[in-house]
């Protein structure tokens, strides 16, 4: 009981520190946010490559993951930086907010409703109710921030899709850890595991929305 309580406070403390660092970098933007993305991205790449090395896969599959993974992470970093630098902090918060809402909505919906497991061989704790709850939460947050913040070019219901994408990213990392026989992607964050564990859902969302923003499909009204 005492150990569980201690672990909870460790997780809470780590989360507060991470939120403070990310929040300050996001607020200042520019070099501060760019450095955070570069350092964080490099750490995620290290954790990705370590997982791939430990995975029970053929050589060709590992080679593909070793190439595609870092490229996708680099694309996500570029996408986040482009959105913050060209569209502003509100647009960046819109991206983060949809992912955070997905995690929170999936957690509480899964606990409240339970039901059929989503992918028991990959992640036994995830349920269909959690998937739907996460998508609805992302829809609410995404549409609200987009409407109030003047984000145009994409439909207000895009949060529904991003909620699905974020959870697929989470499942993808769970599959990697299962094939590698690992509980976490690393031990960087006390009580939370690796950095990849915390951004697995953010990476595909940032990659897609960053690409849409670069293509001119996302803009700020006025």
Nearest in space to 83 (alpha carbons), one of 165, 151, 16, 20: 151
> What's this model's pTM, rounded to 2 decimal places?
0.92
- Sequence-distant (6+) residues with CB within 8 A of 189 are 14, 18, 195, 197, 198
What's the confidence (pLDDT) of residue 191? 63
**What number of other Cβ atoms are within 10 A of residue 211's Cβ?**
16
Instruction: Supply the DSSP string of 16-74, one letter for each residue.
Output: HHHHHHHHHHHHH-HHHHHHHHHHHHHHHHHHHHHHHHHS---HHHHHHHHHHHHHHHH
Nearest to 175 by CA among 47, 46, 52, 41: 52
* Alpha carbon separation from 50 to 126, 175, 195 (Å, rounded): 25, 14, 13
pLDDT string in tens for the chain (222-residue length): 544 444 556 767 777 887 888 889 989 899 999 999 999 999 999 999 999 999 988 878 999 999 999 999 999 999 999 999 999 999 999 999 999 999 999 999 998 998 889 888 898 889 999 999 999 999 999 999 999 999 999 999 999 999 999 999 999 999 999 999 998 898 877 666 789 999 999 999 999 999 999 999 999 986
Residue 222 CB neighbour total at 10 angstroms: 5
What pLDDT shows up at residue 9? 61
Model pLDDT, residue 4: 41
């Amino acid at each position: 009981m005492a150990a569980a309580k201690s672990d909870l406070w460790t997780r809470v403390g780590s989360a507060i520190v991470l939120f403070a660092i990310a929040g300050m970098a996001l607020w200042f933007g520019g070099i501060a946010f760019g450095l955070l993305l570069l350092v964080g991205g490099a750490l995620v790449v290290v954790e990705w490559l370590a997982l791939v090395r430990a995975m029970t896969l053929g050589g060709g599959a590992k080679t593909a993951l070793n190439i595609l993974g870092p490229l996708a992470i680099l694309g996500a970093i570029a996408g986040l930086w482009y959105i913050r630098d060209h569209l502003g902090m509100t647009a960046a918060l819109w991206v983060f907010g949809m992912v955070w809402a997905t995690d929170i909505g999936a957690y509480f919906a899964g606990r409240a409703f339970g039901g059929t497991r989503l992918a028991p061989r990959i992640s036994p704790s995830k349920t269909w109710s959690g998937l739907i709850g996460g998508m609805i939460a992302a829809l609410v947050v995404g549409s609200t921030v987009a409407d109030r913040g003047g984000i145009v070019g994409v439909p207000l219901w895009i949060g529904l899709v991003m909620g699905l994408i974020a959870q697929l990213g989470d499942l993808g990392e769970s599959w990697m850890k299962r094939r590698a026989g690992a509980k976490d992607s690393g031990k960087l964050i006390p009580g939370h595991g690796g950095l990849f564990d915390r951004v697995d859902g953010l990476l595909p969302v940032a990659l897609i929305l960053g690409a849409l923003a670069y293509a001119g499909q996302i803009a700020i009204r006025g």
